[in-house]
Structure 1
Amino acid sequence: MSVRLFGHVFSTGTAAEVLAEAEAKPCTLPRLVVTANVDHIIVLSENPGFRKAYQGAAARTLDGMPLVWLARLGGCYDAIRVTGHDLLACAVAAPQVPGRRVFVLCASTRVGDRIRALFVRAGLAPEDVAVAAPPFGFETDAAYSCALADAVRSHGTTLLLMGVGAPKSEIWVDRQGAALGAPVVLSVGDALTVAAGLAPRAPRLMQRAGLEWLFRFLHAPQRLFHRYFVRSWRFVWILANARDSAAR
């Protein structure tokens, strides 16, 4: 149940199947799950560290609807969209996996505390869920990163939730490697804030129509204008180049 796009193999299974796939990988390094959208494809074309993290990921999902449509056009008719929201909802659902220890890296302790409450409601003890809100630029601070990785490993983390944005989440996890232990890592970005009830999500109809990006833009136009209306055009060039290469 997979499809190859832009040089990477993506799972076409459900969120539960993707989590099971990651959990089944050997427990020697962090088992990173990434959720690809159009912007990820653009960053992959520019950032070697992000490409390395993607290549080493335990599982990759199709988050953006344009990628799902491309997969279906290529003959993978059962391709479905699996977002960070889907993966997080699956992870939080009761009953919890026996022995699960969760570590939440997010934008604020307020978000983290609310995510902890969700896991406690699902059956974990409060001490099973640790929270950290690293400062801006933490990924370039070697001493802080070392201490944070040690905290993740010392907690006995089996599920690490990364909500500090791409590509820094994925690159940081890849660089820390075994220093984190061997948790399943979900790089879910803003899904943590939404699950915490501190940000809205697009109506389901907009999600299905591939217009969730528009909803997000309307709620943060200054932050997202360049990404959606300037930077995203690079995807057209990447797609054209990929099709040209495939035709040769």
Structure 2
Amino acid sequence: MTANPTTDVPTATTLFGMPLDAVTMDEAVARCRDALERREPMTVGVVNAAKTVRLRKDTALRESLLECDILLADGQAVVWAGNLLGYPLPERVAGIDLFTSLLATADAEHRSVYLLGAEQSVLDALVDVLTTKYPGLRIAGAHHGYFDESEEVAIARAIRGSRADMLFLGMPSPRKENFLRRWGDVLDVPIRHGVGGSFDVLAGITKRAPERWQRAGMEWAYRLLQDPRRMWRRYLTTNTAFLILLARERFRTTPPYPRPEKLPTPRKHHG
């Protein structure tokens, strides 16, 4: 069970078998800042409705999330489900909002960040935006997300060599979670946060839902309206599966998933 570093009050709850941290955005940022000060690893994991459904069968994704140092309710549907099932969460802590909060922290404290993910053109645009909007932060390194497994060792070495304070991964699930699980002990970066499509949003490539849609838990619908041909089947199946899972949970609670054994550190990271 996770405890708040300042109060030592347990703030974790088990929902759908996963140990979610029942914290606010401010509390999540405070934990990250504490890890930065100590230069201790803090791997951030986030869970939404789609991921809750997927991790039931995707063992690698589930185990990667279970190894995170803080696991947050990224989706409003997860918060509502927690309240309905008697496991209240104080608020949604969206991955993109934590991302921008940590960028602001890096700006104010002159921290360095490493960006991993997206297409090269998106990454270049993101670097331009961040250096303009957050002049106090330093880009320690950046690499696009279109690499295969054979290149991971070189990328992990580059991240380690950068001595970055924060690593943000703009890659889809479960790729970002699995990368962090495989290479977490090698990276030597205090804050590791997989932010999915947030690179595209901050770079101005895609548009995020208005705040009223976010509060209503309808960001998925906004994305559906932007790209209905590609997204309708995904959201129909995922949302239906989540509702079925929620109904089942009312009658039979999923027991906590056991924490997995730690993966051995890849041998080829030396040199």
- Which TM-score tier does this pair reach, normalised by the shorter chain? 0.7 to 0.9
The correspondence for 1:7, drawn from 17, 20, 32, is: 17
- Is the 1:158–1:183 Cα contact (8 Å) retained in structure 2? yes
TM-score (structure 1 length as normaliser): 0.86
C-alpha spacing 1:158/1:76, structure 2 compared with 1 (3 Å): same
- Secondary structure of 1:85's counterpart equals helix
The correspondence for 2:144, drawn from 116, 133, 139, is: 133
- Is the 1:34–1:187 Cα contact (8 Å) retained in structure 2? yes
- Is the 1:95–1:123 Cα contact (8 Å) retained in structure 2? no
Please report how far the alpha carbon of residue 189 of structure 1 lies from its aligned counterpart in structure 2 after TM superposition: 0.9
Please report how far the alpha carbon of residue 97 of structure 1 lies from its aligned counterpart in structure 2 after TM superposition: 5.8
Paired residues in the alignment total 242
Identity fraction in percent: 28
The correspondence for 1:56, drawn from 53, 57, 67, is: 67
Q: Which residue of 2 aligns with 1:146?
A: 153
Is 2:173 the partner of 1:166? yes
Deviations 1:100-122 (A, max 9, x none): 22111121233323433444342
Q: Which residue of 1 aligns with 2:242?
A: 235
Q: Which residue of 2 aligns with 1:46?
A: 57
C-alpha spacing 1:20/1:186, structure 2 compared with 1 (3 Å): same
Unaligned runs of 5+ in 1: none
The correspondence for 1:102, drawn from 109, 113, 120, is: 113
- Is the 2:115–2:142 Cα contact (8 Å) retained in structure 1? yes
Q: Which amino acid aligns with 1:182?
A: V
C-alpha spacing 1:187/1:118, structure 2 compared with 1 (3 Å): same
- Secondary structure of 1:186's counterpart equals strand
The correspondence for 1:20, drawn from 18, 21, 30, is: 30
Please report how far the alpha carbon of residue 23 of structure 1 lies from its aligned counterpart in structure 2 after TM superposition: 4.8
C-alpha spacing 1:86/1:109, structure 2 compared with 1 (3 Å): same
Q: Which residue of 2 aligns with 1:122?
A: 134
Q: Which amino acid aligns with 2:42?
A: R
Q: Which residue of 2 aligns with 1:35?
A: 46
- Secondary structure of 2:44's counterpart equals strand
C-alpha spacing 1:182/1:92, structure 2 compared with 1 (3 Å): closer
